[in-house]
Amino acid sequence: MLPNLKPGKEMTGGLSIGDKNFDVLIYDTTLRDGSQGEGLSFSLEDKIKIAKKLDYLGISYIEGGWPGSNPKDLEFFNVARNMEWQHARIAAFSSTRKPDVSVEQDSNIKALLQTGVSVATIFGKSWDFHVMRALETTLEENLAMIRDTIDFLKNKGMDVIFDAEHFFDGYKNNPDYALQVLACAANAGAQCLVLCDTNGGTMPWELEAIIKKVREITELPLGIHAHNDSGCAVSNSLLAVKQGCTQVQGTINGYGERCGNADLCSIIPSLEIKLGKKVLPAGQLKYLSEVSHYIGEVANMPHYNNQPFVGYGAFAHKGGIHVNALLKDALTYEHINPEEVGNHRRVLVSELSGISNLLYKAKELNLNIDNYDDQTRKVIKQIKELESQGLQFEGADASLELFLRKAFGQYKEFFQLKNLKLIIEKNEDDTITAEAVVKLVVGDQIFHTAAEGDGPVNALDNSLRKALNEVYPEIAQMHLSDYKVRVLDGKQGTAARVRVLIESSDEKNQWSTVGVSENIIEASWQAMVDSINYMLMKRNL
């Protein structure tokens, strides 16, 4: 027999946040569930920065953390309550009361009340196996824990979202009990029932069938919280919306424990563009890529190049046939206009390129190139030869632009190297010092400088900047933001050819340059010089 669930009321006047109405409410848990991902640790300042960026995007709910679990999360709420939030409501996360402890005396609930938030997200066990094995209590006591906690918070004037933890596994093991958990939460006053695939193992067809069963017994708003352990978190979230769920929980860039949570950077554009659902304030979708990359920087996590919608390579084209078609119509090889999500199209030039790639790149750079003359064909051949040696222009757009401008006579030299000397010294106390001496020609002037550094590359960088600073003071605004070395042929041992990729940035832009040599210092020098030349060229165009 199916349990009786009250129809219930949707949160805060239906699907509305303030005066904004939506088809689906986005609930971000980057600051709590996302922070449980390997290698992630947010400071209080990080959490505030991320929350402000999520609010800027237009996220409906931002889960600030679990105040009962650590002092930093509690401090976040102390700061957040004195801030103005343009779009989002701040939610605090907590477990139900503990077994055989009154809700008034439960430490987690006490901490939750200290936050001052108006939205509480409470999770409770919906899998009988977890109740008995993890909580080591009875099925009846688990229901009482859920009922007491929600009822207590409702009487305190809070909106309560109930996360039914392990719901899909619980339903598959004991459907009657899983539904009793939902009924208990609904009858206690929860305003949204979130169905959680906590272990991330539910297949889309299973999820769809189970949500249909839940929908038969309640009109209360449903939500979905999916993990990605089977690679189905995004598809499961979208299917849940198709089955009537009106809240989607997830994280930016899919951060989270084990294989991560459902990636909101894929879910949000899929809902808005593919399903025609309004989930962000009008005009905000174009900031999605910016927010994704910003939060990645704050998290100090590398951004997944091929991440759908927002990845740097999401709209990158390499094959000559593809680019030839793109020149005629972008729809031939793109499922959306990249500008819709704040991304942009990139055409890569590599050993797989045809003339179409080069022509597209030339047009992008405003280079005056004859379509099919001998010089164009010669440049394509040179690029393929260089890439066969390991240069890989596709990961270094700045080096490619410099190469093309030089090849087509549309570049001026900013400086020339006359001489370079590098001295590395190991002292008695095992410290190693590096000193670089460079002699450069700039116009009719010669600059001869020396500088020390933490290592040979840092010494080269310092010496080069010191020599150029008098003539080009603007280089003080740029800095090296990443430095990567890859051995191209490990069989050669220490004599192997290496590729050095340098990422540089200034106050507005970032760019990548590349160098290849059997000598790591020479490869680093090539990439470093390209980086400075690129900045100077852009400033003087």
User: Closest Cα partner for 254 from 272, 240, 278, 236?
Assistant: 236
Q: For residue 13, what pLDDT band results from cuts at 50, 70 and 90?
A: very low
Q: 488: which DSSP letter?
A: S
Is pLDDT of 381 > 50? yes
Q: For residue 369, what pLDDT band results from cuts at 50, 70 and 90?
A: low
Q: What confidence score (pLDDT) does residue 408 get?
A: 78
Q: Which of 33-47, 194-208, 266-280, 389-403 is predicted with the least confidence, judged by mean pLDDT?
A: 389-403
Is 15 part of any domain?
Answer: no
CA distance 28 to 51: 9
How many residues appear in the chain? Answer: 541
**Which bin fits 254, alpha (ψ -120 to 50), beta or left (φ > 0)?**
left
Q: Which two structure tokens, joined as six digits, stand for 368?
A: 């005056």
pTM for this predicted structure: 0.75
Q: For residue 8, what pLDDT band results from cuts at 50, 70 and 90?
A: very low
Measured CA angle at 162 (ends 191, 252), to 5 deg: 105
Domain match, 291 and 331 both: no
CA distance 534 to 397: 10
Q: Which of 30-39, 188-197, 351-360, 369-378 is predicted with the least confidence, judged by mean pLDDT?
A: 351-360
- What percentage of the chain has pLDDT greater than the value 90? 57
Is pLDDT of 24 > 90? yes
Q: What confidence score (pLDDT) does residue 371 get?
A: 59
Is 233 part of any domain?
Answer: yes
pLDDT single digits (tens) 290-318: 999 889 988 988 788 899 999 978 887 77
On the CB side of 365, CA atoms within 13 Å amount to 29
Q: For residue 332, what pLDDT band results from cuts at 50, 70 and 90?
A: confident
Pair 51, 62: CB distance under 8 Å = yes
Q: Which residue among 299, 329, 361 closes a domain?
A: 299
Is 446 part of any domain?
Answer: yes
Domain match, 376 and 431 both: no
CATH code of 432's domain: 3.30.160.270
Domain match, 262 and 323 both: no
Domain match, 350 and 450 both: no
pLDDT single digits (tens) 480-491: 888 888 887 655
Domain match, 267 and 224 both: yes
- What percentage of the chain has pLDDT greater than the value 70? 88
Is 106 part of any domain?
Answer: yes
Q: For residue 333, what pLDDT band results from cuts at 50, 70 and 90?
A: confident
Burial 250-287 (b: 16+ CB within 10 A, else e): bbbbbbbbeebbbbbbbbbbbbbbeeebebbbeebbeb
How many domains would you assign to the chain? 3
Q: What confidence score (pLDDT) does residue 12 get?
A: 40
Q: What confidence score (pLDDT) does residue 479 get?
A: 85
CB-based contacts of 369: which residues, under 8 Å, 6+ apart? Answer: 358, 359, 362, 376, 408
CA distance 344 to 342: 7
CA distance 432 to 152: 64
Domain match, 111 and 53 both: yes
Q: Which of 4-8, 130-134, 471-475 is predicted with the least confidence, judged by mean pLDDT?
A: 4-8
Q: What confidence score (pLDDT) does residue 386 get?
A: 72
Q: Which of 190-199, 340-349, 465-474 is predicted with the least confidence, judged by mean pLDDT?
A: 340-349
CA distance 440 to 109: 68
Q: What is the mean pLDDT of residues 516-526?
A: 88
What is the torsional sign of CA 167, 170, 171, 176?
A: negative
Is 13 part of any domain?
Answer: no
For residue 196, count CB atoms less than 10 angstroms from its CB and return exposed for 0-12, middle for 13-18, buried for 19 or more. Answer: buried
Q: What confidence score (pLDDT) does residue 10 get?
A: 42
Is pLDDT of 372 > 60? no
Pair 393, 349: CB distance under 8 Å = yes
Is 99 part of any domain?
Answer: yes
Q: Which residue among 270, 299, 328 closes a domain?
A: 299
CA distance 365 to 356: 14
3-class DSSP state of 185: helix
What is the torsional sign of CA 401, 367, 353, 309?
A: positive
CATH code of 291's domain: 3.20.20.70
**Which bin fits 39, alpha (ψ -120 to 50), beta or left (φ > 0)?**
left
What is the torsional sign of CA 15, 17, 18, 21?
A: negative
Q: What confidence score (pLDDT) does residue 1 get?
A: 37
Domain match, 167 and 268 both: yes
The set of long-range contacts for 356-360, using a CB threshold of 8 Å and a minimum separation of 24, is 356/320, 356/323, 356/324, 356/327, 357/317, 357/318, 357/320, 357/323, 358/383, 358/404, 359/327, 360/323, 360/326, 360/327
Q: 166: which DSSP letter?
A: T
Is 441 part of any domain?
Answer: yes
Is pLDDT of 467 > 70? yes
Q: What confidence score (pLDDT) does residue 429 get?
A: 80
Q: For residue 22, what pLDDT band results from cuts at 50, 70 and 90?
A: very high
Q: How far is CA 197 from CA 165, 225, 240, in A?
A: 7, 6, 11
Domain match, 450 and 383 both: no
Domain match, 295 and 370 both: no
Measured CA angle at 205 (ends 251, 208), to 5 deg: 70
Q: Which residue among 299, 331, 358 closes a domain?
A: 299
What phi, psi does 27 have (nearest 5°)? Answer: -115, 110
CA distance 406 to 462: 26
3-class DSSP state of 371: coil
Q: Residue 461: what residue type? A: D
Is pLDDT of 116 > 90? yes
Is pLDDT of 171 > 50? yes
Q: Which domain holds residue 156?
A: 24-299
What phi, psi does 417 have (nearest 5°)? Answer: -85, 130
**DSSP string over 38-86:** TT----HHHHHHHHHHHHHHT-SEEEEE-TTT-HHHHHHHHHHTTS--S
Most confident of 27-31, 400-404, 441-445: 27-31
Q: What confidence score (pLDDT) does residue 227 get?
A: 98
Q: For residue 14, what pLDDT band results from cuts at 50, 70 and 90?
A: very low
Is 402 part of any domain?
Answer: no
| pLDDT, greater one: 198 or 500 | 198
Domain match, 252 and 147 both: yes
Q: What is the mean pLDDT of residues 38-62?
A: 95
Q: For residue 11, what pLDDT band results from cuts at 50, 70 and 90?
A: very low
Domain match, 189 and 290 both: yes
- On average, the pLDDT of the chain sits at 88
Q: What confidence score (pLDDT) does residue 97 get?
A: 96
Domain match, 99 and 240 both: yes
| pLDDT, greater one: 285 or 504 | 285
